[in-house]
Amino acid sequence: MKILVVEDELKTAAYLEKGLAENGYTVDRAGNGEQGFHLALGGSYDLLVLDIMLPGKDGWSILEDLRRLGHQSPVLFLTARDAVEDRVRGLESGADDYLVKPFAFVELLARVRTLLRRNPARSPESLKIADLELDAVHHKTQRSGRRIDLTPKEFSLLYLLASRGGEVLSRTLLAEKVWDMNFDSDTNVVDVHVRRLRSKVDDAFERKLIHTVRGVGYVLEDRGQS
């Protein structure tokens, strides 16, 4: 998958390129609007990550011109301005998503994945990772054949981590998706929930599946023997 990053701030552009490349994408960079626009025209990219505030041609006009010329590739806007007018304007101009700086890199990654997904998001009815099995229809969980009793919310949390297995999910995302909490609560609250989940799902087993990525969030994956 080819991604074009148009960002004039050097450090930002550099880490975006590095991060995306390490996650398996091919990344090109442009440091100003004109350059970005020309690359986009010629390059057939699967996704454009556009900063709005650019010297020369700004993000808005790049997008408008591309759309006018018939380019349909998805666009993700980045900006330090978070007024909702800007967000609405962006979406109306044909952008597919919008991220406000500073953002967590995992956030960007998640959105990039979503935008590049060819099929609509699947919610599989059953999941299996290592010896963990989840039955979404009956809300049943087991590991190595042993049944684990989880509350509805605990199941939702586990299911979310498992369905996005390998992807680090931030505490903010977890709070929103599992508990429908849409504000910056004390992150410790999520930690407590995860601790409880771990005590039921991981503690009794040698192979730990739920991992903490310090400063970023949690990820569920099989890392072999811990």
Partner 1 sequence: MERPGRPASLAARMTLWYALSTFSLVLMASGFLYHALSESLAHDEDALLSEKFQNLTVRMDDRTSDLNDLREFVGELPMWYRNASFWTRILDDQGRLLTETPGMSHSLPLALFKTLPSKNGNPMATSTEGRPFRIFSATGIWTGHSPPSRVTAQMAVDITSDQAILAKFRAELWTVLAFAILACALVGYGIAQRGIRPVRKMAETAARISSSTLYERLERSGLPSELSDLAGTFNEMLDRLENSFTRLSRFSSDIAHELRTPLQNLRGEAEVVLTKARQPSEYQDLLGSFLEEYQRLSTLIDRLLFLARAENPQTQIQREEVDLKKELGLLQDYYGPSAVESGVAVRVESLEGLRANLDRSLFQRAVGNLVENALKHTPAGGTVLLRASNGGERVRVEVADTGRGIPQEEVSLVFDRFYRVDPSRSLASGGAGLGLPIVKSIMELHEGTVEIQSQTGRGTTVVLSFPAFSQETGHEKEAGSSVVVDYSSHSN
Query: Do 166 and 182 contact (CB within 8 A), yes or no?
Result: no
Query: Do 20 and 3 contact (CB within 8 A), yes or no?
Result: yes
Q: Of 98, 155, 159, 218, which lies in the binding site for partner 1, with binding defined by CB under 8 A? A: 98
Query: How many angstroms separate the CA atoms of 81 and 90, rounded?
Result: 12
Q: Does 17 bind partner 1 (CB under 8 A)?
A: no
Provide the H-helix boundaries in the chain: 10-22, 33-43, 59-68, 84-93, 105-116, 152-163, 171-179, 188-201
Residues in region 29-68 near partner 1 by CB under 8 A: none
Query: How many angstroms separate the CA atoms of 1 and 123, rounded?
Result: 23
Query: How many angstroms separate the CA atoms of 100 and 148, rounded?
Result: 39
Q: Does 226 bind partner 1 (CB under 8 A)?
A: no
Q: Does 180 bind partner 1 (CB under 8 A)?
A: yes
Q: Of 48, 161, 173, 220, which lies in the binding site for partner 1, with binding defined by CB under 8 A? A: 173
CB of residue 31 vs partner 1: minimum separation in angstroms?
25
Q: Does 202 bind partner 1 (CB under 8 A)?
A: no
Residue 114-153 contact track with partner 1, rule CB under 8 A, x = bound: x--------------------------------------x
Burial of 131 (0-12, 13-18, 19+ CB in 10 A): middle
Q: What does the binding site for partner 1 look like in residue numbers (CB under 8 A)?
A: 82-85, 87-88, 97-100, 102-103, 107, 111, 114, 153, 172-173, 175-176, 179-189, 192-193, 196, 213-216
